[in-house]
A and B are shown apart, each in its own frame.
Chain A
Amino acid sequence: MADVTLYHWEPNANSGKPMLALVEKGVPFQSRYINMLEFDQHRPEYLAINPQGTIPAMTHGDRVLTESTAIMEYVNEAFDGPALMPADAQDRWRIRWWMKFMDQWLGPSFSMIGWSAFVGPKVREKDPAELEAAIGRIPLPERRRAWRKAIYGQFSPEELAESRRRVALGIDMLEAELGKRDYVASDTYSLADINVFNSTYSLPVSQPDLASVEKTPNIMAWLRRVYRRPAVKQTWAMGTTDLAKRYGLVMEELGE
Chain B
Amino acid sequence: MSEAILYHGEPNGPSLSVLAALEESGLAIECRPIDLLKGERHRLPGITESVALDFAVEGEGPVLVIGGEAMTEAVFLAQYLDEQAGGCGLQPSDPYAHWQMMMWCRQVTERLSPAVAWLGAFAHAQAPLAAMDAGEFAALSDAIVSEDLRQRWQDLRDGAGDEAKSEDSRAKIAQFAERAEGQLADGREWLMGSFSIADLETYAWLAPAALLEPAAFGGKPKLAAWMDRVRTRPSVQRALARAQTDDPLRSFAPGPEINRWG
Residues of chain B lying within 8 A (CB to CB) of residue A159:
260
Asked whether A173 is an interface residue with its Cβ less than 8 Å from the other chain, the reply is yes
Residues of chain A lying within 8 A (CB to CB) of residue B73:
96-97, 100
Choose among B77, B103, B260 the residue that contacts A108 (Cβ–Cβ < 8 A).
B260
A-B contact pairs, 14 of them (CB 8 A): A70-B106, A73-B98, A73-B102, A78-B96, A89-B83, A90-B69, A93-B77, A96-B73, A97-B52, A97-B71, A108-B259, A149-B262, A159-B260, A162-B260
Point out residues on B near A: beta carbons under 8 Å: 51-52, 55, 57, 66-67, 69, 71-73, 76-77, 79-80, 83-84, 95-96, 98-99, 102-103, 106, 110, 147-148, 259-262
Chain A residue nearest in CB terms to B75: A96
Chain B residue nearest in CB terms to A144: B262
Q: Main SS of the interface on chain B? A: helix
Taking a contact as CB atoms under 8 Å apart, the answer to whether A89 and B103 are in contact is no
Residues of chain A lying within 8 A (CB to CB) of residue B84:
89-90
| Residue of B66, B102, B110 with most partner-chain A CB within 10 A | B102
Taking a contact as CB atoms under 8 Å apart, the answer to whether A101 and B57 are in contact is yes
Which A residues from 52 to 96 make CB contacts under 8 A with B? 60, 63, 65-67, 70-71, 73-74, 77-78, 89-90, 92-94, 96
A77 touching B83 in the complex, CB below 8 Å, given contacts A93-B76, A149-B262: no
In whole angstroms, how far apart are the Cα atoms of A159 and B262 in the complex?
12
Taking a contact as CB atoms under 8 Å apart, the answer to whether B52 and A78 are in contact is no
Asked whether A105 is an interface residue with its Cβ less than 8 Å from the other chain, the reply is yes
Residues of chain A lying within 8 A (CB to CB) of residue B72:
97
Taking a contact as CB atoms under 8 Å apart, the answer to whether B76 and A70 are in contact is no
| Residue of A70, A74, A78, A97 with most partner-chain B CB within 10 A | A97
Which A residues from 146 to 188 make CB contacts under 8 A with B? 146, 149, 159, 162, 165, 173, 176-177
Residues of chain B lying within 8 A (CB to CB) of residue A101:
55, 57
In whole angstroms, how far apart are the Cα atoms of A60 and B101 in the complex?
17
A-B contact count (CB 8 A): 80
In whole angstroms, how far apart are the Cα atoms of A42 and B55 in the complex?
34
Residues of chain B lying within 8 A (CB to CB) of residue A97:
52, 71-73, 76
In whole angstroms, how far apart are the Cα atoms of A96 and B96 in the complex?
18
Taking a contact as CB atoms under 8 Å apart, the answer to whether A165 and B95 are in contact is no
Chain B residue nearest in CB terms to A177: B51
Chain A residue nearest in CB terms to B260: A108
Residues of chain B lying within 8 A (CB to CB) of residue A162:
148, 260
Q: A73-B98, A94-B71 are in contact. List 16 more A-B contacts (CB 8 A).
A: A63-B96, A65-B99, A70-B99, A70-B103, A74-B99, A78-B95, A93-B77, A93-B79, A100-B57, A100-B73, A105-B57, A112-B260, A112-B261, A146-B261, A146-B262, A177-B51
Chain B residue nearest in CB terms to A96: B76
Residues of chain A lying within 8 A (CB to CB) of residue B69:
90
3 A-B pairs with the lowest CB-CB distances in the bound complex, closest first: A77-B95, A78-B95, A89-B83
Residues of chain B lying within 8 A (CB to CB) of residue A78:
95-96
Asked whether A256 is an interface residue with its Cβ less than 8 Å from the other chain, the reply is no
Asked whether A142 is an interface residue with its Cβ less than 8 Å from the other chain, the reply is yes
In whole angstroms, how far apart are the Cα atoms of A177 and B260 in the complex?
25
In whole angstroms, how far apart are the Cα atoms of A60 and B99 in the complex?
13
| Residue of A94, A100, A101 with most partner-chain B CB within 10 A | A100
Residues of chain B lying within 8 A (CB to CB) of residue A145:
262
Which A residues from 111 to 162 make CB contacts under 8 A with B? 112, 142, 145-146, 149, 159, 162
In whole angstroms, how far apart are the Cα atoms of A153 and B61 in the complex?
35
Q: Nearest-CB distance from B21 to chain A (Å)?
A: 13
Q: Nearest-CB distance from B257 to chain A (Å)?
A: 8
A93 touching B80 in the complex, CB below 8 Å, given contacts A65-B99, A70-B102, A104-B110: yes
Q: Nearest-CB distance from B93 to chain A (Å)?
A: 9
Taking a contact as CB atoms under 8 Å apart, the answer to whether A105 and B55 are in contact is yes
Chain B residue nearest in CB terms to A111: B261
Chain A residue nearest in CB terms to B2: A90
In whole angstroms, how far apart are the Cα atoms of A63 and B259 in the complex?
29
Taking a contact as CB atoms under 8 Å apart, the answer to whether B98 and A89 are in contact is no
Q: Nearest-CB distance from A71 to chain B (Å)?
A: 8
Taking a contact as CB atoms under 8 Å apart, the answer to whether A77 and B98 are in contact is yes
